[in-house]
Structure 1
């Protein structure tokens, strides 16, 4: 890219679309900051590198690029898989446009990540289902709690009229079961209390959870800490976030306890930062990523799309409320929770915005 077009360079530098310029030999002439971020490389250091030294795609991709140079024919490829130098795989769409100059034919590559769009779509569907479920649960709770109050009151009145004391055992059962059902409904509804936000070190939250887990497991499960100490403090409700993380870790403990040898169980708590990460339609310059990883049996494939619904549990004795409560807490913090699972490896990822005032809306 020539130095006599500062305005063109300024425009390209500020595009959110990853853009690369290749010469006729398929060597890098220019990449904008969006492309640097996508490929996790430096444009200045990568100048002159062959395209396959930056990322790899299908074997046919190189042939198509050479044909585009020779025939000056543009093309577009959908849902291609790019593998960066770090081994990270991404699904992208990219368009190749030949630019004919006096000296040679250049190729302009515009790369559009699909992973982010797919994640946003999935997240929107998840949040929509969560909102629908909330409305359903609230309506159901109203219909349940009203008769429960009447049943409980009638049992209390009946207890006063009983002639013999031992007969009150039956009314006590009615009262206790009514209370149990009311508490269950209240837990399904979740807390109406707004988060009490304060600047908190996320590692304090994880350390508190770690101490509880170590006490409950009595050292039978290996707990691995992998922290990024450079993560700044986050604006969160400390107690609620402890509860959210603890719900996930306890689920992992219960999954590991189903294995034959509990001592082989391992739970890892890992923290990292991510730049330019989108939550919903808002792109955040910096987010904290908290991962809870276990080597348990994994979540059944047919349950993975519904694990955040109330009353959905993989255990016969489970209430299915822990993850629903966790998702509600994370949503109140404008964050995001995701899960990936297969046998031997389950990862729950929590994303929390670090720069509240540095967010921008996605187009």
Structure 2
């Protein structure tokens, strides 16, 4: 007598993905978490075999056959499972041999959050290094001819005939002013690499309060700034001005994104500080770290730039330079930390993690 699938209904309550297979590897049951993890409906999954799910599922399939043969009760392993046209899954798999010929194997897949975090941090570090190299090279390539362009425009202005000076001077001034504007942009690009790292004792709440006062001065109405501080966080050695600029860049971007809610009077910006323990940042393990969140209830970061927000010259607002978050990332990395971002409509959270003594 076959086991009714209703007997597996309780598995829908689990947060880990569970699939039940027959001896041929056909999927008989998949819980709700499996549907989410595999991006497929229950109906679609029950038309597939285990061999259809992953491009590199050989290890998992081999363990499945061992389970069918009752070579073990359960077996655990960490796997990276690749899928066509989708991001690979980093999972901890548990394959269990069931004492039932109709449903001999149960596979549980749990996302390996720590591996995902390490991979994401590694990608961000590689991206940041590439960004810095690009910025330095681009800035120097632009800077050298700018001086020549500006100087030539000034000389040209001196040589203009008196009778045409007024009408033609307008054009030379455009050249000079645009050269000056580009020079300012280049200086901003090079600033993080030029400025000395001034180290002193930093109280992160003094940093947040300084930024709060600046945001309140610019947005006095319609914006509520909430503070959720852990006052036990110790001071640490760092560059206070760099950290003020970091938090200000993020908070100011958030306030600008909240313009519609500010108009309605229900915009909220939250500074939240905590301590996390035993955390790995940039492949180094730390006993303690500052965990600072800057959260807003705005529209969220546009999906088309969500994965590129720390790239130089990428901006989500019209007229933005696209340098604010790049500089913030550079300053945090100089403090051996990382910036993470989670965003969806009505919730964007920039998380700054910096090691503590």
**Which residue number corresponds to residue 297 of structure 1?**
299
> Structure 1 residue aligned with 2:352, among 345, 350, 356?
350
Shift of the 128–176 alpha-carbon distance from structure 1 to 2, 3 Å rule, reads same
In structure 1, the partner of 2:199 is 197
Q: Give how far 1:72 is off.
A: 6.2
Distance 1:186 1:345 in 2: 33
Counterpart in 2 of 1:46? none
For the structure 1 residues 312 and 58, does the alpha-carbon distance in structure 2 shift closer, same or farther, using more than 3 Å as the test? closer
1:139 offset after TM fit, Å? 2.0
Alpha-carbon RMSD: 3.0
1:59, 1:226 → 2: CA distance?
A: 38
- Flag the 1:343–1:328 CA change in 2: closer, same or farther, 3 A: same
CA deviations on 1:41-100 (whole Å, 9 max, x unpaired) are xxxxxxxxxxxxxx9756789xxxxx9xx9962312658xxxxxxxxxxx8626699xxx
Residue 119 of structure 2 corresponds to which residue in structure 1?
121
Q: Distance in 2 between matches of 1:238 and 1:292?
A: 17
TM-score, length-normalised on structure 1? 0.69
> Per-residue deviation at 1:220?
2.0
Answer yes or no: is 1:214 the counterpart of 2:213. no
Cα displacement (A) at 1:343: 0.3
Q: Secondary structure of 1:119's match?
A: helix
Task: Tell whether the 8 Å contact from 2:211 to 2:247 is kept in structure 1 after alignment.
Answer: yes
Q: Which residue of 2 aligns with 1:240?
A: 242
Q: Which moved more, 1:137-146 or 1:306-315?
A: 137-146
2:178 is equivalent to residue 177 of structure 1: yes
Contact 2:222 2:262 in 1 (8 A): no
- Cα deviations across residues 143-166 of structure 1 (Å, max 9, x unaligned)? 222221111111111122223352
CA–CA distance in structure 1, aligned partners of residues 313 and 122 of structure 2: 21
TM-score, with structure 2 as normaliser: 0.70
Shift, 1:130, TM fit = 1.9
Question: Unaligned regions of 5+ residues in structure 2, if any?
Answer: 1-13, 21-66, 80-89, 97-108
- Number of the residue aligned with 2:3: none
Does the Cα contact within 8 Å between 2:296 and 2:347 map onto a contact in 1? yes
Are the aligned partners of 1:291 and 1:349 in contact in 2 as well (CA < 8 Å)?
yes
CA distance in 2: counterparts of 1:338 and 1:344, whole angstroms = 17
Partner residue in 1 for 2:146: 148
- 1:151-207 deviations in Å (ceiling 9; x for gaps): 111111112222335243322221111010111122223322132111111000000
**Distance change >3 Å, CA 56–CA 179, structure 1 → 2:** closer
1:73 matched to which residue of 2?
73
Structure 1 gaps of 5+ residues are 1-54, 62-66, 80-90, 98-110, 356-363
Work out the CA distance in 2 between the residues paired with 1:125 and 1:78: 21
Alignment deviations for residues 199-250 of structure 1 (CA, whole Å, 9 cap, x no partner): 1110000000011111110132010000001100021111110000000000
